[in-house]
Structure formats: structure tokens, C-alpha cells
Structure 1
Amino acid sequence: MKKIILFVAVLVSGIGFSQAKIEFKDKDNTIDYGTVSKDNDNGIRTFEFTNTGNEPLILTNVKSTCGCTIPTFSKDPILPGKTGKIEVKYNMNPGPIVKTITVESNAVNVENGLVAIKIKGLVVVKPEVNILEKKKTGPMQ
């Protein structure tokens, strides 16, 4: 009888310690595009994360706050100690970038398995040069 109780106690305590954890590489889970030009940048950035737990990490969904930001991810489990990637493509509309992407997973180190990742930056448009326009040469024209 003592062996059965000991076996059940070990089994239950082992189940309590089996967990997946997610840790993102980027500071504050944010990628800063900086100041970029739509002409020179495709808008794609990659978030890298590691499963720091001892059970497979499963991403169940990754969604953006708007249609201008499209995340893609693998639904394959990330084994303990291994890394995974979430690719985010921003459509490069001119102006400030402030977008949040919500990652849903079985990770126990984030509330309800949800973690927010963010992109920020500024998309600028190169000024068009009109070759027919007279150039200004100085303040006293």
C-alpha cells in the first residue's frame, strides 16, 4: 500500500512540474523598425522565442490588431530548449508603426497563455524630384 501511495505522489508531483514556457529574444517583446522607407524595406521582421520549459510549447494562434500586419507561424510543437519563429509582415503604410500581435499558447509563464509582441517604427516616403521644377539657389533669388 505504501508503494502505491508513493507512486501516486510522485506521479502527481511530476505532472505539476511539466510545463511549457515561452521567452522572446527581443527586449520587451518588441521589434523596432526604426525609420524606414517603403521603397527599400519589405516590412518583414522575425520574432524568435525559446521554449524554456520541459514540455512541448504549442502556439495555437497568432493574431494582429489589424489587417495591415500579417503574422505567420508554425503549428508544430517547439520542444524544450528549442527555438521557434513568428514572422510578421507590415504593409509599410507611411507614418508611425505601432502594432500589437497576440500570441496564444500553452505556456504557463504568461497569463492565460497569452503574450503580446509589438512592432514599432516610422515609415517615410522619399520625396519625389521634379526635374522640371526650378531649383532654389539661396534666400535672395
Structure 2
Amino acid sequence: MKKIFLLAMLTIFGIANSNAQQVKKTKKTLAKKTAIAETPKVIASKVIGAKVEGAGMLFENETIDYGTIAHNADGNREFVFTNNGSKPLIITNTQGSCGCTVPTTPKEPIAPGAKGKIGVKYATDRVGAFTKTVTVTSNAEGQATKTLTIKGTVLADEVPAATPTTKS
């Protein structure tokens, strides 16, 4: 009788333990599926520009290519962005990577859904290829700093051909 009772208790314990393990596996699987399901939402908000909670900053282009430009040409360009967030975007600072790259910072907060511009002036009196950055500091959700790039090539002035001199 003791053996039957002991066998029954072990069987009940074994079934209960098996069910507990199954519940743990189900919870883990459900957690993984939830995490995977939420991942595209995060990616979509960054890539497509969906609304974000808080302030947002989505640039039309993060790189400006000046191409090949003449020496002392107009070096002014603009980075255009949209506040794709639900709160005003405040840009607290813009900093060029060197003294030849001078950005301008919007003074007023950018309302949700509104566009803004960050101006940048490159000193085109410097001849040769260039790649410079502008670091933007703001209250944008998930990207307190953003790095923008400008690049191009400034051509040297053409030197006129020497005219031969004749002796008279």
C-alpha cells in the first residue's frame, strides 16, 4: 500500500513539474514574440519618420555634397529637417568640426510637424577636397546629438598662361 501511495505521489509530482516547465517555456516564447513584434515599430519610426513620443528630428538629407565648386564660390547650404515628434524640438547647439565650417542654429523651438533649417557655411577659400561634420545637440528623443556631413572639392584658380615678351 505504501508503494502504491508513493508511486501515485511521484506521478502527481511529475505531472505538476512538467506543467510548470511548460508554462515557463510558454512565457519565454511569448516574451520573444512580443519583442520581435515591437522591433519593426521602432525601426519604422526611425526609417519612415513616423511620429515619435517627445521631440523628433528627421532630416531630408544628412549629407550635403557641394560637388566641385570654384575657389571662393558661395559656401552656404542648408540642412532641412522636420520635427516628427509630439513635443517642440529645441536645438541647443550646432558645432562645426573646424573653423572652416560654420553652422547656424535655429533660435526658436520647432513645433511638432513643422520644418526647420540648419545653415552651414564652408570657407571655399581653401582649395582641395573636403569632408567636414556638423554636430547638432537637441532634445530629440533617442538622439540627443546628430552628426551631419558636408563634402566636396574646391578648385584652384586658373593661372593665366604667361605671354611671351618680345624685345624691341
Matched, 1:68 2:103: no
| One-letter amino acid matched to 1:37 | A
Counterpart residue type for residue 95 of structure 1: G
Using the size of structure 2 for normalisation, the TM-score is 0.64
Is 1:44–2:79 an aligned residue pair?
Answer: no
Identity of aligned residues (%): 43
Q: CA deviation at 1:18?
A: 4.3
1:24 counterpart = 2:24: no
- Which protein has the bigger strand share? 1
Q: Distance in 2 between matches of 1:101 and 1:54?
A: 25
Residue ranges of structure 1 left out of the alignment (5+ in a row)? 1-16, 135-141
Matched, 1:96 2:124: no
1:126 match: 157
| RMSD (Å), alpha carbons | 1.6
Q: Which of the two has greater helix per residue?
A: 2
| Equivalent-residue separation in structure 1 for 2:140 and 2:159 (angstroms) | 49
The counterpart of 1:117, out of the listed 129, 143, 148, is 148
Distance 1:38-1:19 versus aligned 2 partners, 3 A rule: same
Q: Which runs of 5+ in 2 are unaligned?
A: 1-51
Runs of 4+ in 1 over 2 A off after TM superposition: none
Which structure's relative contact order is higher, taking Cα pairs within 8 Å and 6+ residues apart? 1
TM value normalised by structure 1: 0.75
Question: CA separation in 2, counterparts of 1:104 and 1:79?
Answer: 17
